[in-house]
C-alpha cells in the first residue's frame, strides 16, 4: 500500500477529519454500534466514594428498567408507586404542553417554540430527585423541570405569548422563563453561560454554610463552549456542591454529537480529566435518571463534591419550530432509538408492577390535555404575540438599570413620542389592561 506523500518530501500528506453522522436523510438506520448496557448490571458506589470509583461508570451506561419492564440492580431507587405515578403524570403533562405549544406557534400565537419530546425524563426525574429549594440553572429544553417544580402553566404560556401578563414583560424569546420562587434561574439563550453561574451559586451556598446545592443543564453540543471547561475547573478546584446534567440528545440543531467530541469518548468521561465524579445514565429510563441525580445530589450535600452526569437520550423532534430535521438526519432515527421512550417505559413498568393500566393511562392523557387547554385559554385572555396586549412601552426602558439614567429617560420619551405620532389617541396605560 502506498501512502500519499506531500510533494518533494517523503512525509505523509496530512488529512483533515470532518465527522459525519451515522445516518443522513433516506439512510437505513442501524443503532447496533451503540452497545446498550444490561439494565441492573452497573455497580453503585457509595455517594461519598473517591471520584475515581465512579470513572468506570463514565464509560458504561447506568440502566434500571429492563426489557421485562421491571427495575433491576443497585441503582433501582425503590420509589413507591404513588411517586412513580406522579413522575409519569408530570412527563405526560410536559409532552401535552409541548404538543399544544407547537400548535399555538403554528397558529401564529407566538414566534417560536422548542419541544422536549423523548427527553422528558431528563428534566422531570431530575427535578424530583433534587430538593425543591436546590437552585437549578437550566438550559432551554427543561420545561419538565418548571412543570415538576409547580411553576404555573399559565405563567409559561403568558411568557410564550409575550402578552400583557408575561412576568418577563415580553422581553425574552419564548421559553426563556425565569422562576425565582421555584428556585429556577433565568434562562439565557446564550449557550453554556449558566454552568459557571451554577458553580458560583454553589460556591456562595458553601461560603455561607447553607445546605442547598446547585444543579445545571447543558446540551452535549454546547459542552464545547469554554464556559463548560471553566465551570468544571472551578467546581473541581473548590469542591463546589453542584450537579452538572449534560443532556446528550445526539443533535445540536443539525450538528451531530461528533462535532462536540463524541467520536473520541463519552461526555461523562470528561469528569475523569477533572478528577470529579461522573455518571453516564440512560436518559430515557426515568428510574435511572432519578437514581443518578439523587446519588449526585446526596454526594454534593455531603461535601463530597461535584458530579457530571451524561444523560444519554435522543432529540425526537427538531431543535425548534425554526428547524426541519428531515433536511439533515434520517427520519427513522427517532423510532429506532434503542433506549425507547421514557413515558412508555415508565407506563409499562407501572403496569408490570400492578399499579397502572391502560384505562387509567387514557384518563391521564385526557386529564393532562385538559389542564394544558385550560392554561392556554387563560393565557390567551391576556393576549398573544403581535395582537396588541403587551406591556406598556415605558417598560422597555425599565430594568436596564435599577434606576432610569437620563439617557434612557430621553430615549423612552422618544419611544412614546413615536407611538403618539402613529396613533394620536393612544394612551400608554391602556395597554396594561385589566390583567395587571
Q: Which of 38, 59, 237, 435 binds other proteins (CB under 8 A)?
A: 237
* Cβ burial, residue 62 (10 Å; 0-12/13-18/19+): buried
Q: Give whichever of 230 and 320 is closer to other proteins, judged by the CB atom.
A: 230
Report phi then psi at 325, rounded to 5.
-65, -15
Q: Give whichever of 78 and 407 is closer to other proteins, judged by the CB atom.
A: 407
Q: Which stretch binds other proteins (CB under 8 A): 47-55, 188-196, 296-304, 417-425?
A: 188-196
Q: Which stretch binds other proteins (CB under 8 A): 70-78, 223-231, 291-299, 314-322?
A: 223-231
Tell me the C-alpha distance between 71 and 66, whole Å: 6
Other CB atoms within 10 A of residue 406 CB? 7
Tell me the C-alpha distance between 205 and 240, whole Å: 9
- Residues 273-332 close enough to bind other proteins by CB under 8 A: none
Q: Which of 75, 151, 217, 234 binds other proteins (CB under 8 A)?
A: 234
Cell 404555573 maps to which residue? Answer: 152
> DSSP assignment of 173-215, as one string?
-TT---BGGGTBPPP-SSTTTHHHHHHHHHHHHHHTT----EE
Q: Give whichever of 269 and 404 is closer to other proteins, judged by the CB atom.
A: 404
Tell me the C-alpha distance between 238 and 306, whole Å: 9
Under rule CB under 8 A, residue 183 binds other proteins: no
Query: Which string of x and - marks every residue 57-86 that binds other proteins (by CB under 8 A)?
Result: ------------------------------
Under rule CB under 8 A, residue 46 binds other proteins: no
Q: Which stretch binds other proteins (CB under 8 A): 81-89, 195-203, 340-348, 426-434?
A: 195-203
Tell me the C-alpha distance between 135 and 179, whole Å: 10
Under rule CB under 8 A, residue 203 binds other proteins: yes
Q: How far is CA 159 from the centre of its chain?
A: 17
How many Cα atoms occupy the beta-carbon half-sphere of 112 within 13 Å? 13
Under rule CB under 8 A, residue 152 binds other proteins: no
- Strand order, beta sheet including 277-282: 135-137, 214-219, 242-248, 307-312, 277-282
What is the closest distance, in whole angstroms, from the C-beta atom of residue 318 to other proteins in the complex? 25
- Nearest Cα to 72, choosing from 95, 43, 93, 92? 43
Query: Which string of x and - marks every residue 153-182 that binds other proteins (by CB under 8 A)?
Result: --------------xxx-xx---x-xxx--
Q: Which of 22, 23, 72, 186 binds other proteins (CB under 8 A)?
A: 186
Burial 176-206 (b: 16+ CB within 10 A, else e): bbbbeebbbbbbbeebbbbbbbbbbbbbebb
Under rule CB under 8 A, residue 241 binds other proteins: no
Q: Give whichever of 77 and 241 is closer to other proteins, judged by the CB atom.
A: 241
Query: Which string of x and - marks every residue 116-135 that binds other proteins (by CB under 8 A)?
Result: -------------------x
Q: Which of 58, 65, 93, 231 binds other proteins (CB under 8 A)?
A: 231
CA angle 269, 270, 275 (to 5 degrees): 100
Q: Give whichever of 8 and 209 is closer to other proteins, judged by the CB atom.
A: 209
Under rule CB under 8 A, residue 146 binds other proteins: no
Under rule CB under 8 A, residue 390 binds other proteins: no
Residues facing residue 352 across a β-bridge: none
Q: Which residues bind other proteins (CB under 8 A)?
A: 135, 137, 167-169, 171-172, 176, 178-180, 185-186, 188, 190, 193, 195-208, 214, 226-227, 229-231, 233-234, 237, 399-402, 405-407
Amino acid at each position: 500500500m502506498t501512502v500519499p506523500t506531500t510533494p518533494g518530501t517523503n512525509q505523509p500528506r496530512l488529512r483533515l477529519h470532518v465527522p459525519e453522522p451515522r445516518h443522513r436523510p433516506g439512510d437505513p438506520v442501524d443503532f447496533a454500534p451503540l452497545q446498550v448496557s444490561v439494565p441492573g448490571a452497573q455497580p453503585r458506589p457509595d455517594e461519598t466514594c473517591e471520584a475515581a470509583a465512579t470513572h468506570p461508570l463514565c464509560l458504561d451506561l447506568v440502566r434500571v428498567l429492563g426489557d421485562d419492564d421491571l427495575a433491576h440492580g443497585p441503582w433501582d431507587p425503590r420509589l413507591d408507586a404513588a411517586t412513580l405515578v406522579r413522575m409519569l403524570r408530570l412527563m405526560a403533562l410536559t409532552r401535552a404542553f409541548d404538543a399544544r405549544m407547537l400548535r399555538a406557534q403554528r397558529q401564529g400565537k407566538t414566534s417560536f417554540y422548542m419541544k422536549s419530546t423523548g427527553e422528558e425524563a431528563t428534566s422531570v426525574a431530575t427535578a424530583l430527585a433534587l430538593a425543591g429549594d436546590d437552585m437549578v440553572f437550566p438550559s432551554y429544553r427543561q420545561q419538565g423541570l418548571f412543570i415538576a417544580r409547580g411553576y404555573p402553566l399559565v405563567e409559561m404560556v403568558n411568557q410564550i405569548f409575550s402578552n400583557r401578563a408575561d412576568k418577563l414583560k415580553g422581553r425574552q424569546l419564548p421559553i426563556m422563563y425565569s422562576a425565582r420562587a421555584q428556585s429556577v434561574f433565568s434562562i439565557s439563550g446564550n449557550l453554556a453561560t449558566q454552568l459557571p453561574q451554577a458553580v458560583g451559586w454553589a460556591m456562595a451556598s458553601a461560603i455561607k454554610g447553607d445546605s442547598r446545592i446547585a444543579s445545571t443543564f447543558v446540551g452535549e453540543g454546547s459542552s464545547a463552549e469554554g464556559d463548560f471547561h471553566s465551570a468544571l475547573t472551578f467546581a473541581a478546584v473548590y469542591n463546589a456542591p453542584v450537579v452538572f446534567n449534560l443532556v446528550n440528545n445526539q443533535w445540536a440543531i443539525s450538528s451531530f454529537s461528533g462535532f462536540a467530541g463524541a467520536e473520541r469518548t463519552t461526555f461523562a468521561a470528561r469528569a475523569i480529566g477533572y478528577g470529579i465524579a461522573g455518571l453516564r445514565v440512560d436518559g430515557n429510563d426515568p428510574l435511572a435518571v432519578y437514581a443518578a441525580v439523587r446519588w449526585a445530589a446526596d454526594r454534593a450535600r455531603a461535601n463530597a463534591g461535584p458530579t457530571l452526569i451524561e444523560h444519554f437520550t435522543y432529540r425526537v423532534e427538531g431543535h425548534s419550530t425554526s428547524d426541519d430535521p428531515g433536511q439533515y438526519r434520517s427520519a427513522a432515527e427517532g423510532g429506532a432509538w434503542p433506549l425507547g421512550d421514557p413515558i412508555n417505559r415508565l407506563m409499562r413498568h407501572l403496569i408490570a408492577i400492578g399499579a397502572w393500566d391502560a384505562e387509567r393511562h387514557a384518563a391521564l392523557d385526557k386529564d393532562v390535555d385538559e389542564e394544558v387547554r385550560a392554561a392556554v385559554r387563560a393565557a390567551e385572555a391576556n393576549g398573544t404575540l403581535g395582537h396588541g396586549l403587551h406591556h406598556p412601552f415605558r417598560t422597555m426602558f425599565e430594568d436596564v438599570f435599577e434606576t432610569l439614567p437620563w439617557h434612557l429617560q430621553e430615549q423612552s420619551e422618544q419611544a412614546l413620542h413615536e407611538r403618539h405620532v402613529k396613533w394620536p389617541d393612544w394612551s400608554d396605560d391602556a395597554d396594561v389592561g385589566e390583567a395587571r
